[in-house]
Amino acid sequence: MLDRIRIVLIGTSHPGNIGAAARAMRNMGLEDLALVTPRCDPKDREAYSRASGANTLVDAARQYDALEEAVADCTLVVGASARSRHLPWPMVAPRALAESLPQALAPAEARVALVFGREDTGLTNAELQRCHQHVHIPTNPDFSSLNLAAAVQVLAYECRQAFLALDSDLQASSGESISESEQPFGVEWDNPPATHADLERFFVHLESTLTAIEFHDPDNPRQLMARLRRLFMRAHLDSMEMNILRGILGTIDKRLRERS
């Protein structure tokens, strides 16, 4: 389970934080580190110094130009956020998130990304809206700004706790197959989850079709696409549903072309 959890750091300024995050990850058994447009040299001396033996993770970290590339193959994307801004978004506590991961990772092809923003400004609204849900680490209201690596440490720790609990459950049930309650929706599902890349293609198509039918005005977008994102992301679409929705959009496009 832990090997299918990716830590994504966006726009990190301090190489020490990348090293310390790598160390926290490896301590907790996570191995998959992705960096999106770091604002420092991730292989700076300070990164290795703070990694303190987790150098392999720093060396293996892949770099991306945008969040959507870093999470394209992920089936659940969770953004670390202080508080939902503007538009409320599904929000979980670290423990509830970690306890949901065995279910979310039950399908063999499932992958989870935990996304962390910049030291100074966190995640942008556009980045937050690419997430299925947000996770908030409860902090002292008078002093709430967690260090980046400390936030990674807390979530990685909770992931490991959930993994250890699962492991002992499995041992207790003498290695039987995953029970129905551990499936993503409490039962064995009929189709694999849609990937982030599928979803993003769908949203591009949706916006294009809504513009074509003149429901949506890209010059005056208001919150329309954000609200539709929020709706479809929290439903955790499966691949068949994704195909149906794309099929509906394609059919609308066709009818519009016939008209002109």
Q: Which of 3, 45, 138, 217 binds its own copies (CB under 8 A)?
A: 138
33 close to 22: Cβ distance less than 8 angstroms: yes
CB of 129 to its own copies, least distance (A): 14
Residue 37 or 147: the one with the smaller Cβ distance to its own copies is: 147
CB of 140 to its own copies, least distance (A): 4
Between CA 41 and CA 7 the distance in angstroms is 18
Between CA 8 and CA 135 the distance in angstroms is 14
Does residue number 27 form part of the binding site for its own copies (CB under 8 A)?
Answer: yes
Q: For residue 36, list its beta bridge partners.
A: 10, 64
Q: Which of 23, 130, 196, 229 binds its own copies (CB under 8 A)?
A: 23
Q: Which of 54, 58, 74, 199 binds its own copies (CB under 8 A)?
A: 54
Strands of 14-172 (E only): list them: 32-36, 62-64, 76-80, 91-92, 112-116, 133-135
Strands 112-116 and 91-92: unpaired
Does residue number 255 form part of the binding site for its own copies (CB under 8 A)?
Answer: yes
Q: Which two tokens stand for residue 106?
A: 């039950």
Exposure string over 70-86, b if 16+ CB within 10 A, otherwise e: bbbebbbbbbbbeeeee
Residue 176 or 258: the one with the smaller Cβ distance to its own copies is: 258
Q: Which stretch binds its own copies (CB under 8 A): 25-33, 37-45, 71-79, 104-112?
A: 25-33
Between CA 53 and CA 90 the distance in angstroms is 36
- 8-state DSSP, 193: B
Does residue number 146 form part of the binding site for its own copies (CB under 8 A)?
Answer: yes
Does residue number 257 form part of the binding site for its own copies (CB under 8 A)?
Answer: no
Q: Which stretch binds its own copies (CB under 8 A): 71-79, 93-101, 110-118, 124-132?
A: 93-101
Does residue number 187 form part of the binding site for its own copies (CB under 8 A)?
Answer: yes
CB atoms within 10 A of CB 148: 24
Q: Which of 145, 204, 218, 221 binds its own copies (CB under 8 A)?
A: 145
Does residue number 213 form part of the binding site for its own copies (CB under 8 A)?
Answer: yes
Q: Which of 28, 98, 104, 194 binds its own copies (CB under 8 A)?
A: 28
Residue corresponding to tokens 């769908």: 202
Residue corresponding to tokens 């290795």: 48
CB of 213 to its own copies, least distance (A): 5
Residue 69 or 253: the one with the smaller Cβ distance to its own copies is: 253
Does residue number 221 form part of the binding site for its own copies (CB under 8 A)?
Answer: no
